[in-house]
Amino acid sequence: APRVFSGIQPTADSFHLGNYLGALRQWVALQDSHDAFYCVVDLHAITVEHDPALLRHRSRVSAAQLLAMGIDQERSTLFVQSQVPEHAELAWVLGCLTGFGEAGRMTQFKDKSAKQGTSATTVGLFTYPVLMASDILLYTPEPGAGARLEVPVGEDQRQHLELTRTLAQRFNHRFGDTFVLPDGYIPKTAAKITDLQEPTVKMSKSASSPQGIVDLLEEPGPLRKKIMRAVTDTGTEVRYDEAEKPGVTNLMRIFAALDGTTPDAIEARYAGSGYGQFKKDLAAIVVDALTPIRERTQALLADEDELDKLLARGAERASAVASRTMEIVRDRVGFVGRGR
C-alpha cells in the first residue's frame, strides 16, 4: 500500500468543523487504502510563544480527537512528533541543503512574520517548512518501482510541499537515491468550510469569532443554537450558489458532507420550504455527527495514562521507520557510525 503522511498542529483546545471536513475526516478514510502515519506536530507548535502546560494538554486533546474520529492505532500509526527525535535531526540536515533565499520566499513565513513583527519572529518559524519536509521524508518508502509517498494538503501548504520535493531531489542528487518524492493532493472529498457569521472567509481558529466557529467538543445545546443563528442570505431559497448565497451554500456543504448527500439532493428536498426547516435538520445532523466524537474524546482524556500508552505505541512504530531512514541519511551524508 502507498504510504501517507500527514501532520496537524496542537494549537487549539479543540479541532473545528473546518479541520474535520477539510482534512481530518480524510485521514480516517485513508486508513483503508494506505499505510498511514499521522502526527501531532508539537515541535511546530513552539515556533510561536506558547504555554508548556497548555501545549501538553492540547497535544493530548488533539490525539484523543483523532482517535475519537476513528483513527485506529491498530491500522495506522498515530504519534506525537517530539517523541521521535529524528524529526529534528533530519531537519538539521535538510536545513543545510536549503538556501536562505529559498526559505525566505515561503509566503506563509512572510505573512506570519509580517503579522508578528521581526522581534517576535523566531528562527524556528523561518525553518518551519524544513521541519515539515523532514516530517514527510522520514517516512519515505524505499525508492523503487511503485514506491509512493502521499501527502494530503490544504492549499496553504502547497508551497511547503514543493520545497519538500525540491529538498528530496537535491539530497538524492548529492548523496544517492534515498527519498521518494512525495505527491501532494487535495482530497476530492475535502470541503472548504467558511465562518458561520462571515461566510465569505474560512472558518479558522485564529480569525473566527466564537459564534462563527464550530468546535468538535461543543455541547448539543449551544451547538444547535449556533447553527440556527448562522448567517443566511436574503431570500428564502435553499440554493447552492457560492457568489450569491455564500451563507446557505456553506451550510449546504456541511449538510452534504455529514449526511453523505449532494447539494442537488438538498435543493430538491427543501424546495419551497425556506431556511427554517433546513437549518433545524442541519443542526440535528451536526449534533448527531459530533456527539460520538465528543464523548469518545472525553472518555479517552479521562484516562491520561492509557492515552499516553497508546501514543507511545505509535511513537515506537514511527521510530522504527524514522530511525532506519536516519541511519541511511547519516551514512550517506558522511557521519561516522557508532559501530555495533
Residue 159, CB-side half-sphere exposure with 13 Å CA sphere: 12
- For ligand AQP, the closer of residues 198 and 331 by Cβ is 198
Give the nearer residue to ligand AQP in terms of CB position, either 39 or 329.
39
Asked whether residue 327 is marked as a ligand-binding residue, the answer is no
Minimum gap (Å) between residue 55 Cβ and ligand AQP: 14
Handedness of CA 269, 275, 281, 285 (dihedral sign): positive
Instruction: Report residue 71: phi and psi, to 5°.
Output: -65, 130
> Hey, what's the cell of 203?
472558518
Determine if residue 280 is labeled as part of a ligand binding site: no
Does the annotation list 202 as a binding residue?
Answer: yes
Q: Which of 188, 202, 245, 279 is catalytic?
A: 202
Would you call 279 a catalytic residue per the annotation? no
In whole angstroms, how close is the CB of 154 to ligand AQP at the nearest point?
A: 2
d(CA 44, CA 38): 14
How many CA within 13 A on the CB side of residue 223? 21
Nearest distance in Å: CB 263, ligand AQP: 16
Closest contact distance (angstroms) between CB of 156 and ligand AQP is 6
Nearer to ligand AQP, 148 or 192 (CB): 192
The DSSP letter of residue 276 is: H
Please check if 208 is assigned to a binding site. Answer: no
**CB crowding 171-193: b at 16 or more within 10 Å, else e:** bbeebeebbbbbebebbeebbeb
| Identified catalytic residue from 110, 112, 226, 279 | 112
**From the CB of 41, what's the least distance to ligand AQP, in Å?**
10
Under the rule (CB under 6 A), what is the footprint of ligand AQP? 8-9, 11, 18-19, 22-23, 154, 192-193, 202-207
Buried b (16+ CB within 10 A) or exposed e, 300-338: bbeeeeebeebbeebbebbbebbeebbeebbebeeeeee
Q: How far apart are CA 132 and CA 136, in angstroms?
A: 6
Tell me which residue has its CB nearest to ligand AQP. Answer: 22
For residue 9, the minimal CB distance to ligand AQP (Å) is 5
182 marked as binding residue: no
Q: Looking at beta carbons only, is 130 or 326 nearer to ligand AQP?
A: 130
φ, ψ at 177 (rounded to 5°): -60, 110
Q: Known catalytic residue: 280?
A: no
193 appears as a binding residue in the annotation: yes
| Residues 6+ positions from 147 with CB-CB distance below 8 Å | 140, 141, 180
Q: Is residue 132 part of an annotated ligand binding site?
A: no
| CB closer to ligand AQP out of 208 and 319 | 208
202 catalytic? Reply is: yes
If one counts every other C-beta atom within 10 angstroms of the C-beta of residue 3, the result is 20
Cβ nearer to ligand AQP, comparing 139 with 270: 139
| 159, 65, 26, 229 alpha-carbon torsion, rounded to 10° | -90
Active-site position among 110, 115, 192, 205: 205
d(CA 163, CA 308): 33
Q: Which residues are catalytic?
A: 112, 202, 205
* Binding-site entries for ATP: 9-11, 18-19, 154-156, 193, 202-206
* Binding-site entries for L-tryptophan: 135
